[in-house]
Structure 1
Amino acid sequence: MMSKSRNAAKAPAALALALLLGACSLTPVLEKPLPPVPASFGTALASPAEAGTGADLGWKTMFGDPRLQSLIDLALKNNRDLRLALLNVHAVRAQFDIQDSARLPTLTANAGVTRQRNPAGDGTPASVSSQKSAGLSISAFELDLFGRVAALSEAAFARYVATDESRRAAQIALVGAVADAYFAQRLADEQLQLTERTLADWQRSLELAQQLKSARQRSGLYVAEAEGQVATAQADRESRLRAVALAGNALDLLTGVHAPAGLPQGVALDKQPVLVQLPAGLPSDLLTRRPDVRQAEQGLRAANADIGAAKAAFFPQISLTASLGYASPSLSGMFDSGQRVWSFAPQITQPLFNHGKLRSELRLAEVRKSAAVVEYEKAVQTAFREVADGLAGRATFGRQIEAQSRVVQSAERRLALSRLRYDAGQDSRLELLDAQRLLYAAQQNLLELRRSEFGNAVALYKALGGGLRSGPDGA
């Protein structure tokens, strides 16, 4: 009996020793490549001494229009793509928990009853025997001597973090998409209003031309020119009506619901409280701000851990199966000390010949890591390019809008002078029509430029990694 107890005590000791030996890891040290981008965005566009970065701004600070803020709130609560991204995070987290659970032994409680009929023998009749048992067992637990299970767990965790970064990127993209769709709706709305005002003005001109023709003071050419002008405005109005409807449909899809009636009124494009002069910080900020860059980095970590798991597969795998419990023919005496049973069954497996499978798996892991390096570098380069594009727009849109505003003012003066000269009989109807068309086109271009400036600000905000927080306090 003493010998059995001593052997039973040795089994947990051997298990503990094996677990301590499991600290060995064959995963190579991860060395991230240097960012393949310049150290600054260019002195002509942004100063490295800029305080902070646009990513520090909450989206409620970035977008001050109360209606737009309400729409972004609706989208964050109801957008289906964002919900799907969150569900993907939960799924990958569960996969990591499953993989990580393999690092610890699984303890199983079991109880059973076995009844067996024994056949008749020489001079002995047939009989029925029973055996009752209860105990705890560990089944095929792998001792991670070379870090294979730990590497797989590390890779699963990196993929979980990468998926969460993907969700963050989806949230930033959603905030930007709602803002873009809202500004497109404001543009279509204001272009429609401008077109309707212009159409009403040109219809009055057509009525005047028809009256003058009836009085034989103007020829049919004037009427034909005025009719063509009115038809052009009518065609533009239908185009603007379609743009308003499409923008509304896009917002409904992004927010996940139809905009309720109680939302605040929108702000006109020329009075939009949008921050267009965003500080960009340094290119190195992108590595910590941009979720897509962090996602690519986690993909690199996962690929690196896969190499460790592939290397460990060349070495022996030791698994343990152990059980401890009681067994007895009768239930009443099953837990007596003499009915104790145990088993300890270590098993070692060493790959010998598998037609190069393990080497191919290692090469595949190394190639995938190389691909992950390329994806990481591409993500950094893409981030740099998007910020540089946004800074280029930041530096030029303001001056372009100022110049276009002067174009509108000049067209307004020309139209006023042409109308005076036409009424005085010094200019033809054609000169007045040209002045009207010029002003209409200049006003439409100014609206589109303002919309483009806001679109550039949204793109720069997303490129800097903004859009996750609703306000400066992080709420």
Structure 2
Amino acid sequence: MMRTRSLAFLPLIALAGCDMAPKHVRPAGDVPTTLPQGGVYRPASPAAADPTTIAWRDFFTDDSLRQVIALGLENNRDLRIAAGNVLQARAQYRVQRADLLPTLNGTASATFTNSPLGLSGTGTGTGTGTGTGTGTGTGVSTGAAGGATTSTDTIKIYQANIGLSAFEIDLFGRVRNLTKAALEQYLATEEGQRSTRITLIGEIATAYVTLAADQERLAVAHETLKSFEESLRLTRAQFRIGIASELEARQSETNYEGAKNDAAALDAQIAQDQNALNLLVGTTVPAELLPRELGDKALTIRDLPAGLSSEVLQRRPDVLQAEHQLMAQNANIGAARAAFFPQISLTATFGTISTALSGLFASGSDAWTVAPSAVLPIFDFGRNQNNLRYAKASRDVAVATYERTLQTAFREVADALAQRSTIDAQIGARERRANAAAVAARLADARYRAGVDSFLTSLDAQRTSYAANLDLTQTRLTRATNLVTLYRTLGGGLN
């Protein structure tokens, strides 16, 4: 008989070691194994360091920019929100993890009960007595009809117990999988915080170089404005004495007012740039840390590696976050499957009981109870089945989210690499164009003053030089933001 009972428990013991959650397999994401190479992309540079190992303090070489980024990491509110989300997720995980172990509770109680102990009704008694002498007597005693005699006492019971209540014996992994799901959500939130940190560093750097570029544009606008003002003064003077036509004076005025408008617009744009930078940093950036111009000064290291494997993207925090969320959904499937099996729980107490407080811990006062229970779902109107369907659908969404995140990461890096491959050539062309336009403007002005060319030629040359300098500044800004973008999209910037 004992052997038969042991065999009956074998399937239950086997299930106790099972995990009903699907095994995690990292989705491929349908991206190439290597980042783009050949054509517009630079050849591989194996000597360059892995960007994920380059600390942001090493990547950014400008000291003022480093100080601004440090201020942002200390004060930015989005980063504080992300840190708070991590603390919340960690606390939720620890709450769920506590269900793996029984919760012990200590209780103490005293009960006092007062109730009647006896009742008396009609009674009859007969007695016979014999004495020495001559006489016999008989006596009869009759109680009063309907009379009652009551006596009361107080019953006292003292108890002290320690035990556990409804502790689930996790034979089918429901609680374990719920705990794993909470853990993966916590880890996903941590990766989300890291992603927020990297994004913040990139956004601060981009806002900083944008402010620097606008400061440089404003300087170009003011310098051009002076040149246009001189031309306007000259043409107006010539118009008054009849040397120049009103058309030339009006054309010169058009150039001057256009540059004046540009300068005013850039003043407003610079104020907005500072507001944006202050918001990112979370406090007012000291004036001494603000850039004055972009120039050709390197704010970052000059080069980042090319020809990397696309596996580097799987170390990006946002990709890791999506993967942890996928693993959490797999665990939720395991918990949903376990809900179809019996839920076994145990309630047990051990303590002491006595009718006197002084005897509460005396010998022989021990008391204990053990109450196992099992609940098997029989008919729940499809609740468990639809919970499982929901968990599977959530897993499918998590798979698609992971794949989309990986594909987006690949596209961001590929775009940055494509731009990086040609940006130096663009800078060189813009610099040569700006130099040539400046020379052409000087020559055209000299020829106009000498009466060789018309004022229109000089006017066009001035406008071309102005536009060329603005384009050069814009291309320098593109180069600066491109390296920041590439560094961020490759997952650098944590230390």
User: By how many angstroms is 1:22 displaced?
Assistant: 4.4
Matched to 2:179, the amino acid is S
User: By how many angstroms is 1:184 displaced?
Assistant: 0.9
User: By how many angstroms is 1:118 displaced?
Assistant: 2.8
Query: What corresponds to 1:88 in structure 2?
Result: 85
Does residue 77 of structure 2 align to residue 50 of structure 1?
A: no
Does residue 151 of structure 2 align to residue 125 of structure 1?
A: yes
Does residue 71 of structure 2 align to residue 74 of structure 1?
A: yes
Query: What corresponds to 2:295 in structure 1?
Result: 269
8 Å CA contact 2:44, 2:305 repeated in 1:
no
The verdict on how the C-alpha distance between 1:268 and 1:427 changes in structure 2, with shifts beyond 3 A counting, is same
Matches within 5 A, 1:43-442: 43-44=37-38, 45-47=41-43, 50-51=46-47, 52-119=49-116, 122=119, 124-261=150-287, 263=289, 268-280=294-306, 281-288=308-315, 290-442=316-468
Q: Quick one: distance in 1 between partners of 2:287 and 2:267?
A: 20
Matched to 2:156, the amino acid is S
Q: Quick one: distance in 1 between partners of 2:63 and 2:393?
A: 50
Matched to 1:295, the amino acid is Q
Q: Quick one: distance in 2 between partners of 1:185 and 1:422?
A: 37
The verdict on how the C-alpha distance between 1:371 and 1:121 changes in structure 2, with shifts beyond 3 A counting, is farther
User: What's the CA shift string for 1:44-103, capped at 9, x where partnerless?
Assistant: 125566344222211122211111111100110000000000000000100000001000
Return the structure number with greater helix share. Answer: 1
The verdict on how the C-alpha distance between 1:41 and 1:84 changes in structure 2, with shifts beyond 3 A counting, is same
8 Å CA contact 1:65, 1:267 repeated in 2:
no
User: By how many angstroms is 1:197 displaced?
Assistant: 1.1
The verdict on how the C-alpha distance between 1:235 and 1:119 changes in structure 2, with shifts beyond 3 A counting, is farther
Matched to 1:33, the amino acid is P
Matched to 2:294, the amino acid is A
Question: TM-score normalised to the size of structure 2?
Answer: 0.87
8 Å CA contact 2:82, 2:193 repeated in 1:
yes
Q: Quick one: distance in 1 between partners of 2:475 and 2:67?
A: 25
Name the stretch that deviates more: 357-366 or 301-310: 357-366
Matched to 2:313, the amino acid is L
Q: Secondary structure at the match of 2:357?
A: coil
Structure 1: tracts of 5 or more residues without a match: 1-17, 470-475
Name the stretch that deviates more: 118-127 or 366-375: 118-127
Query: What corresponds to 1:41 in structure 2?
Result: 35
Structure 2: tracts of 5 or more residues without a match: 1-11, 121-149
Q: Percent identity?
A: 40
Larger Rg: 2
User: By how many angstroms is 1:395 displaced?
Assistant: 0.3
Name the stretch that deviates more: 206-215 or 134-143: 206-215
Query: What corresponds to 1:30 in structure 2?
Result: 24
Does residue 484 of structure 2 align to residue 458 of structure 1?
A: yes
User: By how many angstroms is 1:365 displaced?
Assistant: 1.1
Question: TM-score normalised to the size of structure 1?
Answer: 0.91
The verdict on how the C-alpha distance between 1:26 and 1:446 changes in structure 2, with shifts beyond 3 A counting, is same
Q: Secondary structure at the match of 2:259?
A: helix
8 Å CA contact 2:29, 2:404 repeated in 1:
no
Q: Quick one: distance in 2 between partners of 1:339 and 1:270?
A: 89
Q: Quick one: distance in 2 between partners of 1:20 and 1:127?
A: 57
User: By how many angstroms is 1:429 displaced?
Assistant: 1.0
Name the stretch that deviates more: 439-448 or 59-68: 59-68
Matched to 2:26, the amino acid is K
Q: Secondary structure at the match of 2:264?
A: helix
User: By how many angstroms is 1:434 displaced?
Assistant: 0.7
1:444 to 457, 470, 479: 470
Matched to 1:235, the amino acid is N
Taking only aligned residues, the RMSD between alpha carbons, in angstroms, comes to: 1.9
User: By how many angstroms is 1:467 displaced?
Assistant: 1.5
Q: Secondary structure at the match of 1:100?
A: helix
Name the stretch that deviates more: 364-373 or 174-183: 364-373
Q: Quick one: distance in 2 between partners of 1:232 and 1:267?
A: 22
- The list of structure 1 runs, each at least 4 consecutive aligned residues, that deviate by more than 4 angstroms after superposition, is 18-22, 46-49, 264-267
Name the stretch that deviates more: 430-439 or 23-32: 23-32
The verdict on how the C-alpha distance between 1:81 and 1:444 changes in structure 2, with shifts beyond 3 A counting, is same
8 Å CA contact 1:19, 1:143 repeated in 2:
no
